[in-house]
Structures are given as C-alpha cells and as structure tokens.
Structure 1
C-alpha cells in the first residue's frame, strides 16, 4: 500500500490541479458569457429584463465544444416545444385547472424525448410559465424571451469556441498515467504474494479497488478528451485527431485488457495460496520476477523506447517459464494446471504491451 500511496502522490495531484485549472477557466468563461449575453439582450435587443439571456448563455459553456452545442440545441428545442404546447392548450382550453393539467401532461411526455437529454426537464416549467404568464398573448409574451434565449445561446457558444476552447487532453493523460501506476503497483504486490506464498485477500481487495477507481477515472477522462476534439478549432490548429495524433482511447483499451489479466492472475494466485492447487516453489520465485518486469514495462510513459526482442528480460523469462507447459502432454490452462494458467495470463499482458500496441509520442501535451 505504501507503493500505491507513493504512485498516487506522483500522479493524482497533477490530475487534480489540471482539473481545477480547467474548471476555473470554464467558470470564468461562463461568467463572461452570461454578462455579455445580458448586455447584448438589454442594449442591442432593447429588452428591459432579459433574464433568459444569461441563463441560456450558461448552456453554451460546457467542458467540450460538441457538448456545448448539443445542450444548446436541446435547450432551444425544449423552449420551442414549450411555446408550441402552451399555445395549443391556451387556444383550446385556456389557463384554467384543466389547461394546467393538460399542459403539464403534454410537457412531461415531450420531456421524455432522448434527443432533448437533460434539457427535457425544463419543458414543464417553461410551458407553465408561458401559459400562466402569457395568458391569451403567449406569442407576445414569449417572443422577446425567445430572442433572449437565442442571444444567450449564441453568446455562450461563441465565448466557448473562440476563447481557448477546451481540449481536456492533459487531464486524460494524467489519469492514464495514474492507471498505469496502479496496475504496476498491483503487479508488484502480486509478485510479493507469489514469492512469499501468503495470500492477502484483504490487501488485494484494497489494491483492486484502487485499480478499478483509476480505470473509471481514465475512462471518463478519455471519453471527454475524445469529445473535446470534435468541432474544436484548437484541435484543428494543432492537427489533433482522436485515434491518430492523440492515442488516449487506444492506450485505454490496452490498459483495460491488462486490468482483466491482472485480476485473473490475482484470482489464480489466491487459489494457490488457499491450498486448492500448488506449483513449484522455483516457479513462484521466477514468476514473481516476471511480474516485476511487467510492472516496470507498464510504468513506461507513452513513446518510451522499450526492448521487445525475444531476449529482453520479460520476453525471455516468459519463454523460459512457459516452455514446460507447451510441450506435448501438458495440461490445459485453468485450475487443473495453475502454472500454465499463470503463464497464459502473463503472456497476454506481454501481447498487449507488444510494439503493435505501443503509442507514438504525443503532441497533445503542449496543446492541451
């Protein structure tokens, strides 16, 4: 666990600092967009209290450009639906008890649209707002508000796109490094358990929790990083494209595979230490050394030069240890032959770390 704390202290604080840096930048842009939208709606459009303008501007300032565009379009669509529903109910029934019940029912049905996503929740409020305050003159009441919404959405999108549009790549890189460190620490801990022949289920559960938490953070950060490249002028300026110049998602796939194999190694070692099956003590020590070599490989940063030749320490150790299990008559992998199963799993990790899955040096660090 001390190894884990050391690794997290190395990578998690930069990730948190980068997250706060991005959030504070986003907050500053949201404030600027809201104030600008208010001033534009009040002085350019001549509306005395354009309260919808700063509210709509906030929807144009999300962590990614494409996210901002989706939310803005969803809000505009929901606002238009609210006006149409309130107009129909007002013309047919009016703003009475029956009208209120009908407008709420229709608004809630419209809010279920997946296209509107999270913005569907504002439709019931907007329809009631239009019906009760607009009365028989809904268009005259809601028309200026619709202009305020358009000004706010346009202002928020313009601020988010033109003023340092977010890429979110550096934070994803930090989270991937954190996951690499956690995986390396997990392999080192498993190596100690294999060598000491002492099962530590509680210790492994704590370690597994840290690995899965780091994996969840990496997944969310990489998804936001990929999203941040779409329709982003900074991405085009730096020539960044997901899966090509930025390899975060591909790195994540490799690390996800390694997580599965590491958990399987832990399960197999626990079955050994429980006394259900056994392997030679010499194999335990050699396998512990192999796991430590794999941990060192996993810790290597993207673009680092590694020796993947058959004579490299992990490759040569893997080949030497798995030879007895690949001869004719060897048992099938699994609990019947735990040694063969362990060799199969470490071989899968080596395959995931092979040159075909390595990543080129990343240009995103200077741009993000």
Structure 2
C-alpha cells in the first residue's frame, strides 16, 4: 500500500510537471547553462583580438537557445545582423567626430530608426545597443572591440544552436495538446454560464465581456502554441520520427475545429447574454424557448468535457427543433431562437471534427480525460 501511494504521488507530480511546463523549462535551463559554459570555454581559445572579449560568447549562446531549433537559428542570425549594423552606425558617427553627446545621440537615433525594420526581428534592439557599446566601451580601440564583439557573439550563437540541435531538440506537441484541452474546459464553462443566464433571465453585459475576453485570450494562446508546435518540427531531427507529422496535422485540425466552435459560442453569447430586445421579442431568444435552449447548452458543455456521449448534443438540439416546430408564435418571435439553433448545430459539428480519428495514445484527448463514454 505504501509503495502504491508513493508511486501514485510520483505519477501525479510527473504529470503536473509536464502539463505545467516545468519539465521543458528545466531541460531548456540546463541546456542553456551548458551551452553558456561551453561557449565560454571555446571563446577563451579563439585566436586574435577576439580572445580579449570572451564574455560575449555566453551571451550569444543564450540568444540562440530558444524554445525551438528554428527559432534559435532565426534569433541568432537576426542578432548578428543587428550587431553588424550597429557597428557600421558607430563607425559612421565616429567618422563624423570624436565620441560625445552628438555621436551618442546620432548612434541611438539612427540605430532606433534602422531597428524599426520588421525584417530584423529580435535583432532590432541590438542595433542601437551595439552602436553604443562600440562608442562607449570600445572607445579608442573600437576597431578591435567591434571585431571581437561580433566574432565572440557568433561563436556563442553557433554553440547554442549546436547544443539545442543535438541535446533533446524540443518538440512542442504536448504543450499545444494540453492547451487545446484547457480551452475545451473554458468553452464548456462558457456554455454552462449561458444556460444559467437563460434560466435566471439576468444579464450582466460587463461580466459577459470579461467572460468573452477570457475565451478569446484562451483561443489566441492555443493559436500561438500550435504555431510553435509547427515551428518546433523545422530543422529538428526528432521531427522525422514516425507519427510526428500526422500528430502535428491532427493538432492543427483540432484547433481549427475548436476555433470554429468558439466563433459559434460568441454568436450565442451575443444572442443570449448581451443583446437587448431590438423590437418586440426580437434580439434575444423568446422566453418560451429558454428551457430547451438552456438544456441544450448544458448537454453541449457536458459533451465537450467528455462526460456525455456525442449523441447527447444531437438529442438536445433535436428537442429545441421540436419546440420550434410545435410553436405557434409569430415567426419574428422565434427568429433569434432559430439563429441560436444554427450556432448550436455548428458547435456540435465542430466538436465532432475535433475528435474524428483521434489518436489518444499520442496525447490528451480532445475533450479532457474522460473519453470512455459510449457514443
């Protein structure tokens, strides 16, 4: 019993460290520390004037140690280009006159202007920084300092890229999959909240602005994570592993389906929680349909969490359709309810696509960890 308890705690700690991002952060920190030390060792043996400035090599290693191999290559190249431009700008200002207030102002001003080009990316901030270093630190030895600065940064970037490429090059699939699951929970909570609004017939537009903002931020976060997962496969030897491409395509398909579901949920929010009556009964669902709509929202939330079979969503929508068919209300009174019905159907279809041919052995399930219900 004691061993099983310890093993259970160990399993929970392991899962927490993975889902919270602690594992990849620890690995990334260890690799960065090793790359910086290795760069420092190599930099002290670089021949020529560059050996006088070995402290820039660890800095270059840290610059290149990004979350993906491709991002590290991009960051390293952009940084070196930015430093090179900064050196040129510093040389130009020194050619005008001795370093002073005017030279510093010119170096910073021109550096900021040049750094404004988006193509420089992360190298943009290095333009003015490098120009200032050459002027203020290099001083009378600006030529030798500039060469040493650029060479040692290049050495560090090369070391950082090599370490990131050879030592467990990161693949960011798990993080994207976990975030997709988290957004499904946000989506389910959102639908439960809409059901509560219908049941209580109380609307707080500011509260729903905050709730909608939460959903929008969650979707934007997942979009970023999926993009990083795609990028992590570029120039990555582990990207050639069996199933990695299929897994990446599947995560992308899941996210696109989830994004569509979020769009439909936003429409429902406007209809149920935020919109006021435009005219008699128009602008929000008719009160006569509040009960079946609220039930449908609850069923869809249950389905998204994986606690109910997918058929539950279809059954709930069918009940709303029957209520509409049996209604003798004026058509203008049921128009918004019909629009809500379209959004409900869109959510069901989107979620169905999100779980189609899901390979649960490669990551979390689309609707959480309870996919053992019968369809």
- Please report the TM-score for the alignment, with normalisation by the length of structure 1: 0.78
* Offset at residue 56 of structure 1 (A): 0.8
Tell me, in whole angstroms, the C-alpha distance in 1 between the residues paired with 2:265 and 2:150.
55
**Secondary structure of 2:244's aligned partner:** coil
CA shift, 1:163, in A, is 0.8
Counterpart-to-counterpart distance in 2, 1:128 and 1:280: 68
Listed as ranges, the gaps of 5+ residues in structure 2 are 1-11, 365-375
Pair 140,267 (structure 1): closer, same or farther in 2 beyond 3 Å: closer
Shift of 1:238: 4.0
Where does residue 124 of structure 1 map in the other structure? 128
- CA gap 1:232/1:18 in 2 versus in 1, 3 angstroms: farther
Of 283, 294, 297, the residue aligned with 1:291 is 297
Match of 2:4 in 1: none
1:262, CA displacement in angstroms?
A: 2.0
Aligned to 2:373: none
Alpha-carbon distance between aligned partners in 1 of 2:222 and 2:61, rounded to the nearest angstrom: 30
- Equivalent in the alignment of 2:286: 279
Corresponding residue for residue 317 of structure 2 = 318
Distance in 2, Cα, partners of 1:107 & 1:193: 55
Q: Which residue of 1 aligns with 2:268?
A: 265
Task: Give, in whole Å, the separation in 2 of the partners of 1:103 and 1:136.
Answer: 16
What is the aligned counterpart of 1:199 among 190, 198, 202? Answer: 202
Please, what is the CA RMSD of the aligned residues?
A: 3.6
Q: 1:43 maps to which residue?
A: 45
CA–CA separation in structure 2 for the residues paired with 1:245 and 1:209: 27
What does 1:33-72 align with in structure 2 at a 5 Å threshold? 33-45=35-47, 47-72=51-76
1:38, CA displacement in angstroms?
A: 0.5
TM-superposed CA distance for 1:325, in Å, is 5.2
Query: Once the 2 structures are TM-superposed, how far is the Cα of residue 288 of structure 1 from its aligned partner?
Result: 3.0
- Report the TM-score, using the length of structure 2 for normalisation: 0.77
> Aligned residue for 1:345?
343
1:207-250, Cα deviation, whole Å (9 max, x unpaired): 54543443343233223222222222212234423x76442232
Q: Is the 8 A contact 2:172 2:228 kept in 1?
A: yes
Query: How far apart in 1 are the matches of 2:334 and 2:234?
Result: 50
Residue 139 of structure 1, CA deviation: 2.9
Query: Aligned partners of 1:207 and 1:91: how far apart in 2?
Result: 58
Distance (whole Å) between structure 2 residues aligned to residue 224 and residue 250 of structure 1: 15
8 Å Cα contact 2:247-2:362 kept in structure 1: no
2:369 aligned residue: none
